[in-house]
Amino acid sequence: MVGTLTGIYPGTFDPITNGHTDIIHRAAKMLDRLVVGVAVNAGKGPLFNAEERVAHVEEEIAALGNDFAKRISVKNFDNLLVEFAAENNATVIVRGLRAVSDFDYEFQMASMNAKLNADVETVCLMATDKYQFIASRLVKEIAIMGGDVAPFVSERIVSRLLDRVGRPG
Ligand code: ADP
């Protein structure tokens, strides 16, 4: 569609956290269309499979309300990010940036993706301060060790996590 600004927000989302949802919300405010790309290959064995992660992201988006939900879609992908962006007519890659920890990696990724496709711009957004420190990896560790993950993820994800790690809700 001419004049439609489409962005891709790629990630593992294992599981989707309040930090991710905040970035989705912020990105959707700036774009006409946002495609959340759930990476199938999530490194060292994800807690939730790709279909589950897509369903979880869809639920969080539904909870943002209709105005946003109708402009956001969720898809899994296992090809090169710039190819996935092109398939979706996306010219923007959205990434979330936490304090200092993400900068190096994001800087490198953005530079390499720009070399692969000069027509795609990477835009980094920051989550609201209270969600800045949240990382899926730590949320999983806390859940596995019996800690309270309620400050970091939605109630829906809390119960899915407890279920998956075999703890009573
Ligand atoms: P994680 O890095 O937590 O394992 P992902 O790989 O799914 O999660 O991350 C997808 C994108 O979201 C990355 O750009 C990552 O930096 C960003 N992100 C993850 N958590 C946060 C957060 N709490 N605040 C801002 N951005 C975040």
Give pTM, 2 decimals.
Answer: 0.94
- For the segment 140-149, what is each residue's pLDDT rounded down to a tens digit? 999 999 999 9
- Residue 163 backbone class (left: φ over 0; alpha: ψ -120 to 50; beta: rest): alpha
Kindly tell me the sign of the dihedral angle through the C-alpha atoms of 48, 52, 57, 63: negative
- For the segment 52-102, what is each residue's pLDDT rounded down to a tens digit? 999 999 999 999 998 889 999 999 999 999 999 999 999 999 999 997 788
Beta bridge partners of 126: 97
CA of 135 to the centre of ligand 1 (A): 6
Pocket of ligand 1, beta carbon within 6 A: 11-13, 17, 19-20, 23, 95-96, 98, 102, 127, 131-132, 134-137
